[in-house]
Amino acid sequence: MSLLLATLLACSVILTKGKAGYGPGEQDWGYVDVRPGAHIFYWLYYTTANVSSYTDRPLVIWLQGGPGASSTGDGNFAELGPLDLKGNKRNWSWVKDMNVMFIDSPVGSGFSYVDNTTLYTTTNKEIALDLVEMMKGFYKIHPEFETVPLHIFSQSYGAKAAAEFGLELYYATDRGELRSNITSVELGSPWISPIDSILAWGPILQGLGFVDQEGYNEIMASANLTAQFIEEERWVLAFSQWSHTEDIVFRASHGVDFYNVLSKTSADFIDDEETPEDKLLNILMRGPVFHALGIPKNVIWGWQKDATFVKLEPEFMKPVIHIVNELLEKTPVKVSVATGNLDLICSTSGNVKWIAKLNWSGRSEYLRAARTPISVDGILEGYQKSGGNFTLFWINRSGHNIPADNPAAMSHVLRELTSFG
């Protein structure tokens, strides 16, 4: 083979574009069988940045929470994709600056599915290993991304999965099982140590005036019982008590929004009631998107798949601080946490508390580091503190959904971690 022909073939691989999907820009999507009968769905948006090749920009993975919420739906249309729920172009879409891949994980979430219910994941480790298998399949389809910097971004329970996914992906790469340029893992609004957030609910709500002393006392009694069950490793009881504590919060506050305490809510708010946004997303994903992407007819999209969630109930309340610690200590991967100051469910004070429990070789450097302001166009958007391979971002005027609540601050986070945004 001549040098010219080899060069042309290499360029054809790099410059191969995707296809028209739903919305603007080139896209690719499909399924990777991570285990026999277990099918994970991904949706890739090639960057629309003015570059000679899309491989000039990093690849970002987005993992939604739940577990059981859909990245291809929630993260895409409600937070950071090229279109919003009403079909309008989003000014702050990440696709303008980088390649973005939404993965419906764990299996059963969104458009991902299993052939029978025995194939649902039941542990965080299983979720992580499925995601590693998914990346093996993805890189076979798209080998041009093997050397492109990979950044894993996540939200809520997705962050709990992301920490272990990042760790297992690094180990698999180190063992030579695949090629991947994993560079950073961002834990957004993370459910890393649930009890640290739960124990903060009462003080936060009382301090903001959402509950009185009686409400505070009731919340804390339930939260402390949750903590007892966690201490005893009675995980199913801890899950039930967490759910009961949430009910107490809703009742005592008359419906405070767990995801952004300043959101306007009705005094008659009902937990788990489908919002207008949820309805819009269901119509969009089960109609135009379903048909545009040619999803198998047996797959029914859901914004939150209960079957996926239920299988992980025994895992839900377990802390994974040790996994974050191992990711920091055993790998060169950059690790960060982004937390919104209006988030209740995964509160900033709770995140700060579990971060203080980390004990890796960069801990002293982190503790000595100054906390500096995040300024975007002259506006104070938050704060950050870095040491070793770890950074904590405090985000102002943001609840749980940071990319949607404060896109300017999120763009700063993106630039810090990926150099683009």
Which of 365, 406, 403 minimizes the C-alpha distance to 387? 365
CB count in 10 Å sphere of residue 60: 28
Each residue's pLDDT, cut to its tens digit, for the chain (421 residues) gives 443 334 333 443 444 567 888 999 999 999 999 999 999 999 999 999 999 999 999 999 999 999 999 999 999 999 999 999 999 999 999 999 999 999 999 999 999 999 999 999 999 999 999 999 999 999 999 999 999 999 999 999 999 999 999 999 999 999 999 999 999 999 999 999 999 999 999 999 999 999 999 999 999 999 999 999 999 999 999 999 999 999 999 999 999 999 999 999 887 755 556 788 888 999 999 999 999 999 999 999 987 888 999 999 999 999 999 999 999 999 999 999 999 999 999 999 999 999 999 999 999 999 999 999 999 999 999 999 999 999 999 999 999 999 999 999 999 999 999 999 9
Which of 413, 385, 400, 287 minimizes the C-alpha distance to 348? 400
* Boundary residue ending a domain (253, 273, 300): 253
* Boundary residue ending a domain (231, 253, 275): 253
How far is residue 192's CA from residue 204's CA, in Å, rounded to a whole number? 19
Residue 273 counted as domain residue: no
**Residue 190: beta bridge partners?**
156
Q: Is 364 among the catalytic positions? A: no
C-beta separation of 327 from 389 below 8 A? no
Q: Is 254 among the catalytic positions? A: no
What is the structure's pLDDT at 302?
84
Q: Give the Å distances, CA to CA, from 230 to 190, 236, 316.
A: 18, 9, 11
What is the structure's pLDDT at 19?
86
What is the structure's pLDDT at 10?
40
Amino acid at 245: T
Q: Which position among 39, 142, 151, 400 bears the catalytic label? A: 400
3-class secondary structure per residue, the chain: CCHHHHHHHHHHHHHCCCEECCCCCEEEEEEEEEECCEEEEEEEECCCCCCCCHHHCCEEEEECCCCCECHHHHHHHHHHCCECCCCCECCCCHHHCCEEEEEECCCCCCCCEECCHHHCCCCHHHHHHHHHHHHHHHHHHCHHHCCCEEEEEECEHHHHHHHHHHHHHHHHHHCCCCCCEEEEEEEECECCCHHHHHHHHHHHHHHHCCCCHHHHHHHHHHHHHHHHHHHCCCHHHHHHHHHHHHHHHHHHHCCCCCCCCCCCCCCCCCCCCCCHHHHHHHHHHHHHHHHHHCCCCCCCCCCECHHHHHHCHHHHCCCCHHHHHHHHHHCCCEEEEEEECCCCCCCHHHHHHHHCCCCCCCHHHHHHCCCEEEEECCEEEEEEEEECCEEEEEECCCCCCHHHHCHHHHHHHHHHHHCCC
C-beta separation of 43 from 72 below 8 A? yes
Does 133 share its domain with 212?
no
C-beta separation of 14 from 146 below 8 A? no
Number of domains making up the chain: 2
What is the structure's pLDDT at 6?
40
Residue 51 counted as domain residue: yes
Does 321 share its domain with 410?
yes
Which CATH number belongs to the domain containing residue 393 in this structure? 3.40.50.1820
Does 393 share its domain with 345?
yes
What is the structure's pLDDT at 1?
41
Does 68 share its domain with 95?
yes
Give the residue numbers spanning the domain of 61: 16-192+314-418
Residue 91 counted as domain residue: yes
Residue 11 counted as domain residue: no
Does 106 share its domain with 181?
yes
What is the structure's pLDDT at 273?
64
Does 179 share its domain with 323?
yes
Does 122 share its domain with 204?
no
274: Cβ contacts below 8 Å, ≥ 6 apart: 282
Does 67 share its domain with 213?
no
Does 185 share its domain with 200?
no
Does 143 share its domain with 180?
yes
Does 50 share its domain with 155?
yes
| Residue carrying structure tokens 């988030």 | 343
* Boundary residue ending a domain (205, 229, 253): 253
Q: Which position among 343, 347, 386, 405 bears the catalytic label? A: 343
Residue 249 counted as domain residue: yes
Residue 325 counted as domain residue: yes
Which of 352, 315, 371, 378 minimizes the C-alpha distance to 157? 315
Would strands 149-154 and 59-63 be described as parallel, antiparallel, or unpaired? parallel
What is the structure's pLDDT at 303?
78
Q: Which position among 156, 193, 222, 398 bears the catalytic label? A: 156
| pTM of the full structure | 0.94
Q: Is 419 among the catalytic positions? A: no
Residue 78 counted as domain residue: yes
How far is residue 413's CA from residue 352's CA, in Å, rounded to a whole number? 18
Which of 244, 191, 236, 257 minimizes the C-alpha distance to 218? 244
The length of the chain, given as a count of residues: 421
| Torsion 185-189-194-196 (CA) sign | positive
366: Cβ contacts below 8 Å, ≥ 6 apart: 385, 386, 387, 388, 390
Does 25 share its domain with 84?
yes
108: Cβ contacts below 8 Å, ≥ 6 apart: 68, 114, 120, 305, 307, 308, 311
How far is residue 409's CA from residue 393's CA, in Å, rounded to a whole number? 9
Which of 382, 378, 419 minimizes the C-alpha distance to 397? 382
